[in-house]
Amino acid sequence: MKILLVTPFITTGAKFGNFVHTGGGVAVRYENYEKQLKAAGHETRVLCPDRRTVDTWVLKDSGYITSNCMKGYPINALTPSNILRLVHCFRWCDVVVCPENEHMMSLAFFSKVFRKRMVINVHTNVHQMLSTRPTTLPIFNFVYHQFLRTALCSSRVKCYTVSETNGKLLRENGVEVSGVYELNTREEEVEHFTEKDKQQLRQHLAPGVPKSTPVILFAGRWLEEKRVHRLVSTLPSSAALVIVGDGPLDMTHYNNNNIFVHKGFLPNDKIYACFLAVDWVANASDFETFGNTSYEANSVGVPCILQPAGGHLSQISNPGTNGHFVDFDRPDEEVRSHLESFVHSPPSAEIVKMNIVRKSDAVTILDVIDPASFPKKPHEMPFESKGGDEVFRRGVLIARYVIFETVFKFAILFVGCLFNVVVVGTVAALGGVTQIKADSYQDRLIRVKMHKKRKRDKVIAFLRKTGKQEVQVERIKGAKIKEIVRDDQEGEFR
């Protein structure tokens, strides 16, 4: 099956407001989606509005390459080049998987025109995001959910989300949610991590902190909505805080005797190792649809400290087992006292793992693309009998389908697509957001070629350093790098 993955975007450079950046934990989910799909034998392509989002896994030096990566998703406006790219992609694929976005109605329209199935994944608690602007909340809340409802009016489009809390909120606003994902954890990354390794890493993360002092970890993007400043201002004097990540905000100024800042994102194996090296993983954000890092920490037996809001509410069912809720909106002294009451006695790893809140009816990416998740329409079902009543009933169903599904809903999606083209494009232009041109096949070849050159340069540097005469470079996803041999006579590489 051919699957088109539309990756999440990062809104930057806008002049008309402080936009919430997206694409961090969500981008990791889409990386995992692609790996699962490829492992199951499906053919995938990645469509991305911003090269930075997708290159985090496409061109990283560990060797994982998605040679089918395409840029050109029309995040800002449906320009002619972006429309042509969408036409090309929809003609190629069988199923489209995308996050919620301002062009949901347009993508649903393309899905209907080309008769392709489409999955919309809702990752963002938009209601919480919009609540920062109470005067416009009712309007934008209606518009956002109307976008979703319009896109879902097509029977070829399904909606999924990442937490029961957000699913309930969507249903309350009239959005039909077909299922909830469960995050795939990767605890096997640290299966061979010894106690000695934990202590060494702990000393690296929090130098000089004694073993008796509880260490709390925040790992993620440095953004305003993460509210890292609340973790800093309410930290008990008898505990230490480690901040790992990167982002638009500068956290390095928080460095002091019991706060340690490490700038830079970490790969899966290292971030899981960090979980094991600390006593708690904390997140003070009231914005999360689902707390990825806290759930991953629980999977390796590390408890979490969470703000009781959004998707966090569905992650701790029995406080004190796999974590604690702490209301960071309360005065500093109250929060500090609450933290002091339990941080010195974290639950054991066995208790944490036993009390992870798992979804009994969770779905995977393989479930949502399964044709069985898109049942046949009534008029497509086989005849139950050959009598006249059955023929008449089938005729009524076909007429209803033609009138409502083919004509009425097509008209609704067409109007929604026009709205996207005109209104969303105008707002983006007024906001000063730079348009992103569609990528070409040649651009993709150049990126892969540059990646090969970086790998070749690293091999050459290795040979010069070690003096070895030759090295065999493994194949990377079908892309072969030629063997580099040293010419001893000339002392150069060819």
pLDDT band at 477 (very low <50, low <70, confident <90, very high): very low
Q: If you write DSSP's letter for every residue of 460-494 in order, what string do you get? A: HHHHHHH--SEEPPPPBTTBPPPPEEEETTTTEE-
Six-digit token string for 41: 């034998």
What is the Cα–Cα distance from 193 to 177, expressed in whole angstroms?
40
What is the Cα–Cα distance from 87 to 78, expressed in whole angstroms?
12
**What mean pLDDT do residues 43-63 have?**
51
What residue has token string 């010419």?
487
Instruction: Report the pLDDT value the prediction gives residue 71, as an integer from 0 to 100.
Output: 47
Helix residue spans in 300-440 (DSSP H): 332-340, 349-354, 365-368, 388-400, 409-419, 425-430
Instruction: Report the pLDDT value the prediction gives residue 324, as an integer from 0 to 100.
Output: 94
Greater confidence (317 vs 469) lies with 317
CB 413 within 8 A of CB 154: yes
What is the Cα–Cα distance from 245 to 227, expressed in whole angstroms?
14
Instruction: Report the pLDDT value the prediction gives residue 313, as an integer from 0 to 100.
Output: 85
pLDDT band at 183 (very low <50, low <70, confident <90, very high): confident
CB 37 within 8 A of CB 62: no
pLDDT band at 10 (very low <50, low <70, confident <90, very high): very low
- pLDDT tens digit string along 248-258? 788 989 988 89
> ∠ at Cα 347 (346, 349), nearest 5°?
115
- Torsions phi, psi of 256, nearest 5? -155, -155
CB 182 within 8 A of CB 362: yes
Six-digit token string for 169: 């909120």
**Residue 474: what residue type?**
E
**Residue 475: what residue type?**
R
pLDDT higher than threshold 80 for residue 380? no
- pLDDT tens digit string along 318-343? 888 999 999 999 999 999 999 999 99
Neighbouring C-beta atoms of residue 239, cutoff 10 Å: 19
pLDDT higher than threshold 80 for residue 485? no
What is the Cα–Cα distance from 66 to 83, expressed in whole angstroms?
23
Greater confidence (81 vs 177) lies with 177
Kindly tell me the burial class for residue 112, based on how many C-beta atoms sit within 10 Å of its own C-beta (0-12, 13-18, 19 or more): buried
What is the Cα–Cα distance from 101 to 274, expressed in whole angstroms?
33
pTM for this model (two decimals): 0.72
Neighbouring C-beta atoms of residue 82, cutoff 10 Å: 22
Instruction: Name the least confident of 97-111, 140-154, 287-301, 395-409.
Output: 395-409
Helix residue spans in 152-252 (DSSP H): 164-172, 195-205, 228-233
Instruction: Report the pLDDT value the prediction gives residue 486, as an integer from 0 to 100.
Output: 40
Q: In terms of Cα–Cα distance, which of 266, 279, 74 is closest to 186?
A: 266
**Residue 306: what residue type?**
L
pLDDT band at 478 (very low <50, low <70, confident <90, very high): very low
> ∠ at Cα 289 (286, 293), nearest 5°?
85
**What mean pLDDT do residues 430-442 have?**
58
What is the Cα–Cα distance from 250 to 299, expressed in whole angstroms?
30
Q: In terms of Cα–Cα distance, which of 375, 386, 403 is closest to 394?
A: 386
pLDDT higher than threshold 60 for residue 483? no
pLDDT band at 52 (very low <50, low <70, confident <90, very high): very low
Instruction: Report the pLDDT value the prediction gives residue 239, as an integer from 0 to 100.
Output: 94
Six-digit token string for 318: 């029995």
Tell me which range, 9-13, 17-21, 191-195, 287-291, is most confidently predicted by mean pLDDT. 191-195
pLDDT higher than threshold 90 for residue 426? no
The strand pairing partners of 69, in sequence order, are 46
Mean pLDDT of the chain: 75
- pLDDT tens digit string along 115-152? 899 999 988 766 665 555 555 566 677 777 888 888 88
**What mean pLDDT do residues 226-232 have?**
92
- Find the largest Cα–Cα distance for the chain: 92
pLDDT higher than threshold 70 for residue 3? yes
pLDDT band at 377 (very low <50, low <70, confident <90, very high): low
